Amino acid sequence: MIDYAKERRFASTVDLYRRYRPRYPQAFIGGLVEELALSAADTVMDLGCGPGFLAVAIKPFVGHVIAVDPEPMMIEAARSEAEAAGVTLELVEGGSATLEPGPVLLSAVLMGRSFHWMDREATLARLETMVAPSGAVVLCQSTARGGDWTEAVAAVREAFANDPDHPRKRGQHDHEAVLARSPFSVIAKFAIEDADRVDVEDIVGQALTMSSTSPDRLAERRPAFEAAIRAAVAPFVQDGCLERAHTFEAIIARRP
């Protein structure tokens, strides 16, 4: 991963992340459990866990979940999420560069929109020593679609982006090609569709969870950014809300 200990890139987004980022639907989690044939005998890792949405959702279906993130405030958020859900996680402050084999091989390593922040090839090489022979590396992501209004929001975010890694990160989503060159080269995918209605402040809040337009990155430009988001989506609001569709997708990579 990028040196989070130095940058604390997501420190200013934690509360916003918990409030505005979409949670994984139960149908997606159930499908993931079925695809991976997970049970109470399994240990899984959520690498780059953020506030623990994926780790908390998967925990009722497995025996043990290790949730890893380099941002201390995200680890505390994951602790709160787990307590609220009545589940127990093993919480580890660290990143992909500090991974070491544990006493038990992992049945799966899950990553929810975190792989692009890592040295991907080096991470997969480390995971080769940690994942069980029948185990998998799983990249989970969600894509929101709202037609013209999502394009309008993207244009505002691009205009305000203040992140030296933004161009690099934007061009680093060829994950399947990286996996195909790794020990985990057999790839399968599944996806589900979901939809909801959100208000304008939900859209503003979610935009602030992005690293390139986080409160820290925007600094004194935050009021202008929020105003620009509101203005961009205003023509598309109906009855105070916006229609939003989601595709939740898992890329499941196993050894040959």
Compute the C-alpha angle 249/250/256, nearest 5°: 145
CA distance 144 to 122: 30
CA distance 213 to 96: 24
pLDDT digits (tens, 9 = 90+) for 4-36: 444 556 667 788 989 999 899 999 999 999 999
pLDDT (tens place) for every residue of the chain, 256 residues total: 444 444 556 667 788 989 999 899 999 999 999 999 999 999 999 999 999 999 999 999 999 999 999 999 999 999 999 999 999 999 999 999 999 999 999 999 999 989 988 999 999 999 999 999 999 999 999 888 777 899 999 999 999 987 555 544 544 468 999 999 999 999 999 999 999 999 999 999 999 998 889 999 999 999 999 999 999 999 999 999 999 998 999 999 999 9
Tally the domains of the chain. 1
pLDDT digits (tens, 9 = 90+) for 194-226: 999 999 999 999 999 988 899 999 999 999 999
Which CATH number do you get for residue 96? 3.40.50.150
**CB 14 within 8 Å of CB 214:** no
Q: Residues 6 or more apart from 235 whose CB is under 8 A from it?
A: none
Q: Locate the DSSP E strands across 56-149.
A: 64-69, 90-93, 106-112, 131-145
CA distance 31 to 129: 26
**CB 163 within 8 Å of CB 223:** no
What is the spatial order of strands in the sheet that 186-198 belongs to? 90-93, 64-69, 43-47, 106-112, 131-145, 242-254, 186-198
Q: Is 150 helix (H, G, I), strand (E, B) or coil?
A: helix
Compute φ and ψ for 251, nearest 5 degrees: -100, 115
pTM score, two decimals? 0.88
Question: What would you report as the CA-atom Rg of the chain, rounded to the nearest whole angstrom?
Answer: 18
Q: Residues 6 or more apart from 8 whose CB is under 8 A from it?
A: 71, 216
CA distance 36 to 225: 41
- Tokens 């159930």, residue? 30
Q: Domain range spanning residue 35?
A: 4-254
**CB 110 within 8 Å of CB 138:** yes
- Which parts of 86-147 fold into alpha helices (H)? 120-128
